[in-house]
Chain A
């Protein structure tokens, strides 16, 4: 999954128009970043990338780009 594909996926998870997220957005400022989207993120990281992610790791993320790094799609 490319960075752009990841961002589009996050747009869908957060119910935003495609192309909204660029990576710099702060998670705490995203209206739909809640427990449901957090679980979805974890499940997709595992399903799509085979990457286990824990909520503790997510707590350390402050931006969308941090999530991207966590899901190891940016490398």
Chain B
């Protein structure tokens, strides 16, 4: 859970915030936890307004810890008790001055203005739903319009008491039924609005247990709508949502094999005697865990194997008739006798992802400790040795939370398969230029299009290595810049004969008189050394020429992860500007009246890339 900058000693303290969470430990140690977490470097700042329908002091305190543990440093605005509507409706100047990036609306069933009366007709209940929705929609729309912030909104938990007992769920005037209808309306709104995310407290309350979720003593004494136990669950969940918004969710699951994906030792027992399949209680649990892993892979999590085994033996395990996972599901496969930390480092290098993007699952506690000690950036959940609990532990830690699922996420494995083909093809050429020519690359480069805004925002918030400024923007800010004529915006998609790499590069800057000030230039490392940066530059220069821009000013802000692009502007012919600055370099390029394109191996088009050899390989993945 700790960010990549956490030291080993900090990681030890931070275990308090990892599963299995002990409430008393968090309550006791919250001060020391905060101090340790604030020692991390490279924290991502964010401003969060908590608009509460109940007391939110504890929510803020716990949320701060879980966000810091994700490498996010929040500054908070807190509404007064139950002032969540008024603060927005009457434009509280403190809130407006605060300019939140995120507004978290912490409402619960207590904030439903009126539940249906007994025997109300279906029409009357429907009117009540509309009225309740109208109240909330006005709130959300004003936040989006005036504050431009992303909204995280609780749906509703169930009321403490059921006046009609079980009928509460089936009668339209029943309170349980009413909550479910409102939640369906909230969900529908979330599907239609990109900067609106639901914090599913109905699920959380079921997970925690209704009795433990709400406690009379905390409500009547402090107007806390949640017990301390529930507050921990809630804030952990909200932190996971924020983490996904900032592109900090994990990308890759590295798995051991023996007694992790199947029971037994493949090298000793052979495929035939592995415990795997529905005819054995433990074997069935292994099948279920494999199915869970397979589903993670289907929604974009990269899989890798790290096992102490002979490679051939290890691979044979996947030929077991009950194995849900197949060899081709894995994007990296390390089965050898080397230390696991060494193998995991190699997996990260091979996949071009950071170690802090990896979750490692192994039934062997000694291996877990070794990886944890030597690679503190890698998340190592304490899964125990009982396979039936592995998936629950992973779920509980919310490693792979997503704020949306886009087509690019679904095709990640296909991308890696085609990338392997590219690598194999590269080996056949002695000359790199010949290899690039053989790829038959086509780039679609153009101004930001509404259809791509989600992917562009995702790329902006995920890319670390080929990123000149590492500036992060919300989808609202990206949308605003796309519509502002003062900005030049460019996206780039790249396809080749092996498939579509998807939208892989983003560039934007603001035109001030005859100068373009570049604000962002980033590219997925998957297409490094493919001349895509040249293709983007060619398109940029043409755009500048068309707008009468005579000078391009580029900024390089060094970070821990972007040394890869330290020489980027120099390589394109930019000249350094001014004296040295501690935190940034400025580079200048005079736009020539005539310009020779830099790229020689990419055909450029402004048209959508429709013809793709492997249509399923829609694209890429996690950015490094």
Taking Cβ atoms with an 8 Å cutoff, the residues of A that contact B are 9, 12-13, 15, 35-36, 39-40, 42-44, 47-48, 52, 54-55
Flag if A43 contacts B228 (CB, 8 Å): yes
Which stretch (B25-33, B175-183, B462-470, B614-622) binds chain A?
B25-33
A47 B24 Cβ-Cβ under 8 A: yes
Across the interface, A15 reaches (CB within 8 A) one of B23, B24, B31, B217, namely B31
Interface flag for B57 (CB, 8 Å): yes
Pairwise interchain contact B28-A12, C-beta atoms closer than 8 A: yes
Given known contacts A54-B217, A54-B221, A43 and B23 CB-to-CB distance under 8 angstroms: yes
Partner of A48, one of B24, B29, B218, B228: B24
CA distance A8 to B228 in the complex (A): 21
B27 contact from A35, A43, A52, A54, Cβ within 8 A: A43
Q: Which of B23, B31, B218 has the most CB of A within 10 A?
A: B31
The answer to whether B28 and A35 have CB atoms under 8 Å apart is no
Within 8 A of A (CB), among B27-57: 27-32, 57
The interface centre, meaning the residue of A40, A43, A47, A54 with most chain B CB atoms within 10 A of its CB, is A43
CB distance from A54 to the nearest CB of B (A): 7
B58 in the interface, Cβ–Cβ < 8 Å?
A: yes
B228 engages A52 (CB within 8 Å): no
Bound complex: CA of A9 vs CA of B27, how far in Å?
10
Query: B96 at interface (Cβ–Cβ under 8 A)?
Result: no
Decide yes or no: A12 and B31 within 8 Å by CB, A39-B58, A39-B222 being known contacts: yes
A36 to chain B, nearest CB (A): 6
Do A40 and B27 have beta carbons less than 8 Å apart? yes
Q: Are B23 and A47 in contact (CB under 8 A)?
A: yes
How many Å lie between the Cα of A47 and that of B28 in the bound state?
A: 12
Q: How far is the CA of A1 from the CA of B102 in the complex (A)?
A: 42
Question: Is B61 an interface residue, CB under 8 A from the partner?
Answer: yes
Which A-B residue pairs are the 8 nearest by beta carbons?
A15-B31, A43-B228, A12-B28, A40-B27, A47-B24, A55-B221, A43-B27, A48-B24
Pair A36/B61 contact, Cβ less than 8 Å: yes
Interface bits B203-235 vs A (CB < 8 Å: 1, else 0): 000000000000001100110100010000000
Interface centre among B28, B32, B58, B224 (most CB of A within 10 A): B28
| Chain B residues, Cβ within 8 Å of A15 | 31-32
Q: Say whether A39 contacts B228, CB under 8 Å.
A: yes
Question: Main secondary structure on chain A at its contact with chain B?
Answer: helix
A36 contacts B228, C-beta separation under 8 Å: no
In this complex, what residue of B is CB-closest to A48?
A: B24
Counting contact residues on chain B (CB < 8 A from A), the size range is: 10 to 19
Residue of B whose beta carbon sits closest to that of A14: B31
Bound CA span A32–B16, Å? 22
Bound-state CA distance A33–B57 (Å) is 15
The winner among B23, B27, B29 for most chain A CB atoms within 10 A is: B27
Cα–Cα distance between A44 and B23 once the two chains are bound (Å): 9
Does A36 contact B24, Cβ atoms closer than 8 Å? no
A42 partner residues in chain B, CB cutoff 8 A: 217
* Nearest residue, chain B, Cβ from A52: B217
Q: 6 more A-B contacts (CB under 8 A) besides A9-B28, A52-B217, A55-B221?
A: A13-B27, A36-B58, A39-B218, A44-B27, A48-B24, A54-B217
Query: A37 vs B61: C-alpha distance in the bound complex, in angstroms?
Result: 11
Instruction: Give the residues in chain A near B29, CB-CB below 8 Å.
Output: 12
Q: B221 to A35, Cβ gap below 8 A?
A: no
Contacts of B23 in A (CB 8 A): 43, 47
Known: A15-B31, A39-B222. A44 touches B24 (CB 8 A): yes
Residues in B neighbouring A39, C-beta threshold 8 A = 57-58, 218, 222, 224, 228
A2 to chain B, nearest CB (A): 15
- Give the chain B neighbours of A54 by CB distance below 8 A: 217, 221
Residues of A within 8 A of B32 (CB): 12, 15
11 A-B pairs within 8 Å (CB atoms) are namely A13-B27, A35-B222, A39-B222, A39-B228, A40-B27, A40-B28, A42-B217, A44-B24, A44-B28, A48-B24, A52-B217
